[in-house]
Amino acid sequence: MMSEDQRVEDTTEEHRSAEEIAREARRLWQEYGPRAAEGTLKNRDRRAIPQMAMPAQDPAERRCNQMEVPLGYTEEQARLEALRCLNCPTAPCIAGCPVAIDIPRFLLQAAAGKFQDSINTIKEASLLPAVCGRVCPQESQCMLECTVGKVAKDPMQSVAIGRVERYVADLEREEDRVEVPAVGPDTGFRVGVVGSGPAGLTVAADLRKAGHQVEIFEAFHKPGGVMIYGIPEFRLPKEIVRKEIEGLEKMGVTFHLNFLIGRTRTIEDLIRKDHFDALFIGSGAGLPKFMEIPGENLVGVFSANEYLTRANLMKAYDREHVDTPIYESRVVAVLGGGNVAMDAARMALRLGAEEVHVIYRRTRREMPARVEEVDHAHEEGIRFHFLSSPVEILGDEQGRVRAIRCQRYELGEPDDSGRRRPVPVEGDFFEMTVDTVIPSLGNVANPLIRKTTDNLETNKWGNIVVDEHNRTSLDRVYAGGDIVLGAATVILAMGEGRRAAAAITEDLRSGRWEKKG
């Protein structure tokens, strides 16, 4: 049936069981552990320690369940991996981290088995280590700068910083040692936070620590934003997000769910009627892009947002108990090459699709998805079609998807960014029989707040314009995360949130905004 079956090159190894991986780590630990304790480990020795493989569920099993794919390091693995850090005097990894976590320090502490110290170090800079350890694109951040990877000329060979981060964060949570951060003395200020995704949660935590009253407004019936509706359970267990929310509740942050700013109340209402002293807008980039090709409104075409929201937030995978339906697909085409595309493709597989095809205009090298997600997708049997771009979705007489027509591309001259630009090959088309198409082409800023707030400056893409302290053009109103950056990452949203919270506290203390209420 396939006219084009251009799979990714097989870079992944045979699946190894968690027990086997753990056994090997125990053996290595006997070799390196005592020497590390004596302090006799040389850089040469550290470089000889192989990168610790992440144990994972067997692909044949996991493609039928929603459980998390990577199982997490054992203690020996975490300590061995942390031992690979060379403690370079310049610590280039820190510069690679959007929130500047003191990476060598937390690795040193982890290697020494001081796991509480290690997680405390991370938490000085990051609010959501268990989340970021899982979903950060480490290979283009800290691992890109890591000397170990530089020497190997492969960032994937760097110290697996995120995996150690995940280990120490999980250990603290699983052993129930997570402490609710101390709340400062009441300042009398009230701050409203719009959206409960990574940016909003970070702002809320920092503001509450500073002693302000904090109220979060969330449109959905559950808090967590993209971490709840977008990222699947198999990549980010919802229990982790729930614990983070619980922590904020214990700190005294109030959540208003089913509350859509721009409709239930406007930004102006919150200031004028509800007397908030300051507001932070972290409403995310929630408007799915489509390709604008014929057939996109046929039955069987779903934005990745819709598909994943049905599956994750609405738990449509639990067909026995849940009311929200999800389309019954046999052959699925996912359009795009980012993390969301990988999530949608792998979800479709888990919901029973027989074949899932990812169609991407460039090549594997240019895919914006995390390397690990692409590897996992490939291991699970997702098929990739590179240098191909859909031109039309074809329907049957009932208006349902029956096929997708694509044009082949080739790599042309490099563009301004140095990447070779894909150019269409004239007259070279192919058709695939599919019943479901999931465009995963990213999101643009949701226009609701822009349209319902006078004098709020936005750029030509509809993102809110902020200064270096995340202040918007409106007094008392700050913004951060995807609504400012365009579609970005959890950690960048968190970085924005921290900066905004610091600015809000500073501006309230200094009397920049007169106290309300």
Residues that bind another protein (CB under 8 A): 219-222, 229, 257-260, 263-265, 286-288, 290, 292, 296-300, 302-303, 305-306, 309-310, 314-315, 321-328, 398-400, 446-448
Q: Is the C-alpha dihedral spanning 216, 217, 223, 226 positive or negative?
A: negative
CB of 258 to another protein, least distance (A): 4
- What is the rounded distance in angstroms from the CA atom of residue 96 to the CA atom of residue 141? 5
Output 82 or 449, the one with its CB closest to another protein: 449
Q: To which H or E segment does residue 378 belong?
A: helix 371-379
Length of the chain: 517
Cα Rg of the chain, angstroms: 24
CB of 289 to another protein, least distance (A): 9
CB of 274 to another protein, least distance (A): 10
Output 289 or 512, the one with its CB closest to another protein: 289
Ordered alpha helix ranges (H), 210-323: 226-229, 238-250, 267-272, 304-311
Angle between helices 115-125 and 103-111 (to 10 degrees): 170
Output 298 or 371, the one with its CB closest to another protein: 298
Output 23 or 275, the one with its CB closest to another protein: 275
- What is the rounded distance in angstroms from the CA atom of residue 103 to the CA atom of residue 111? 12
CB of 123 to another protein, least distance (A): 30
Output 375 or 435, the one with its CB closest to another protein: 435
Output 43 or 297, the one with its CB closest to another protein: 297
∠ CA 22-25-27, nearest 5°, is 115
Strand 331-335 and strand 436-439: the pairing is parallel
CB under 8 Å to 273, separation ≥6 — which residues? 265
Q: Hey, what amino acid is at 448? A: L
- What is the rounded distance in angstroms from the CA atom of residue 35 to the CA atom of residue 47? 14
CB of 465 to another protein, least distance (A): 20
CB of 227 to another protein, least distance (A): 14
CB of 438 to another protein, least distance (A): 11
CB of 322 to another protein, least distance (A): 5
Output 87 or 258, the one with its CB closest to another protein: 258
Asked if 16 and 70 touch (Cβ cutoff 8 Å), the reply is no
- What is the rounded distance in angstroms from the CA atom of residue 222 to the CA atom of residue 256? 10
Output 57 or 305, the one with its CB closest to another protein: 305
Ordered alpha helix ranges (H), 197-263: 198-209, 226-229, 238-250
